[in-house]
């Protein structure tokens, strides 16, 4: 078992033994996490059991939603610059506050309707 050096023996300069100790910890962590990740076999899982945990992979809809979010985000930042140029900083802030309040009211109404009639 590897023991961590005590606080009293810790020096301000980093020695090569400390680097070796840290690299051993990283290697053990990677080895243990890889072994636990790959230890599950699909044959061991019954048909009725659902595996829990994260899955690595993107479906087509995930990629579409990421690209849609990127397009909306880009449009928001580019259009806000032209809005500030046209209306000035205070005018753009007032306009964004008014539209934000309207969107808040609409989303609150939609939330109420969704809970009233699911």
Which tens digit of pLDDT belongs to each residue from 45-86? 555 556 677 778 889 999 999 999 999 888 888 888 888 999
Torsion of CA 12, 17, 22, 24, to 10 degrees: -170
- On average, the pLDDT of the chain sits at 78
Range of the domain at 101: 88-118
Cα diameter, the chain: 68
What is the structure's pLDDT at 51? Answer: 63
Determine, yes or no, domain membership for 116.
yes
Q: How many domains does the chain have?
A: 1
| Cα–Cα distance, 12 to 72 (Å, whole number) | 50
User: Mean pLDDT, to the nearest integer, of 87-110?
Assistant: 96
Determine, yes or no, domain membership for 103.
yes
């Amino acid at each position: 078992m590897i023991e961590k050096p005590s606080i009293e023996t810790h020096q301000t300069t980093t020695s090569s033994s400390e680097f070796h100790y840290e690299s051993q910890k990283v290697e053990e962590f990677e080895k243990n996490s890889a072994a636990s990740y790959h230890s599950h076999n699909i044959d061991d899982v019954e048909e009725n059991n659902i595996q829990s945990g994260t899955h690595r992979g993107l479906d087509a809809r995930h990629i579409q939603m990421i690209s849609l979010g990127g397009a909306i985000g880009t449009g928001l930042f580019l259009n806000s610059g032209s809005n500030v140029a046209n209306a000035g900083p205070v005018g753009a802030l007032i306009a964004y506050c008014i539209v934000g309040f309207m969107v808040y009211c609409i989303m609150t109404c939609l939330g109420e309707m969704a809970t009233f009639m699911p």
